[in-house]
A and B are shown apart, each in its own frame.
Chain A
Amino acid sequence: MVHWSAEEKQLITSVWSKINVEECGAEALARLLIVYPWTQRFFDNFGNLSSPTAIIGNPKVRAHGKKVLTSFGEAVKNLENLKATYAKLSELHCEKLHVDPENFRLLGDILIIVLAAHFTKDFTPACQATWQKLVGVVAHALAYKYH
């Protein structure tokens, strides 16, 4: 089980409370698809992903980005119990979606950059470290049921 200090919990909830989940989620997913274009392989049915402009403006990307980051909110609410929180989603990503867990790590890294750009100087080293830890354990929990 992952241990979270009081400071870490504070850094997580305080950042989360200031995020616009829809905007941030859309931005993170769009950047994932632009920076690591091979991740587009999971989104054949999303329509036009032919350029950064197309990706950023794509309504399916926005909607899916919002969905993904909303689900991240469950992690923030259940820091002591991430494996259980993500058990079903983990099975889904393995058995139905066939997503290599490396992609969760890539998205996590992208989310950190999006947060850094959004919060600038307020994204202190302690904040970065805490959130990098959080995205890492979320990725781990999502990969946990893989077989």
Chain B
Amino acid sequence: MVLSSNDKTNVKTIFTKIGGHAEEYGSETLERMFITYPQTKTYFPHFDLQHGSAQIKAHGKKVAGALIEAVNHIDDIAGALSKLSDLHAQKLRVDPVNFKLLGQCFLVVVAIHHPSVLTPEVHASLDKFLCAVGNVLTAKYR
């Protein structure tokens, strides 16, 4: 799966629209993921997972930051996220299926806040981008 130049443009456009809300969307994504897919909570036994928790805010900020980094280096996502990829492979070992679940929740959050920007074409590009990020993060698993 390769990101076309249209895909890259669409992803950059949507992240420009998201602007300063990225961290907030990151937290909302995580909260929705923990509620919709409770099995994902198993990776955070050390977290307070209640609505508004400082830990969810902080972690949402990290996740958003990584996505922005990937967008800013969209021609070389593997390079940009190489250290994160190592971390996931060696330490975190989050099962690959969970990246799809996170991606689904991020799409929901974007749909809620920017319904008119998430046209079918942009939806397709963003979904591809999120898959690409998930693939990079699990690439060194074995």
Q: Does B23 sit within 8 A of A, measured CB to CB?
A: no
Shortest distance in angstroms between A131's beta carbon and chain B's nearest beta carbon?
A: 9
Chain B interfacial residues counted at CB < 8 A: 20
Interface string of A109-134 (1 = CB under 8 A from B): 10011101111110101101100100
Q: Does B53 sit within 8 A of A, measured CB to CB?
A: no
Interface string of A8-48 (1 = CB under 8 A from B): 00000000000000000000001100110000000000000
**Contact across chains for B32 and A125 when beta carbons are under 8 A apart:** yes
**Contact across chains for B120 and A121 when beta carbons are under 8 A apart:** no
Once bound together, how far apart are the Cα atoms of A20 and B85, in whole Å?
43
**Contact across chains for A109 and B104 when beta carbons are under 8 A apart:** yes
Chain A interfacial residues counted at CB < 8 A: 23
**Contact across chains for A113 and B35 when beta carbons are under 8 A apart:** no
Give 21 pairs: A residue, B residue, CB < 8 Å, sorted on A.
A30-B120, A31-B123, A34-B124, A35-B123, A52-B119, A52-B121, A55-B120, A113-B107, A114-B111, A116-B107, A116-B111, A116-B112, A116-B115, A117-B111, A119-B112, A120-B115, A125-B31, A125-B35, A125-B36, A129-B36, A132-B37
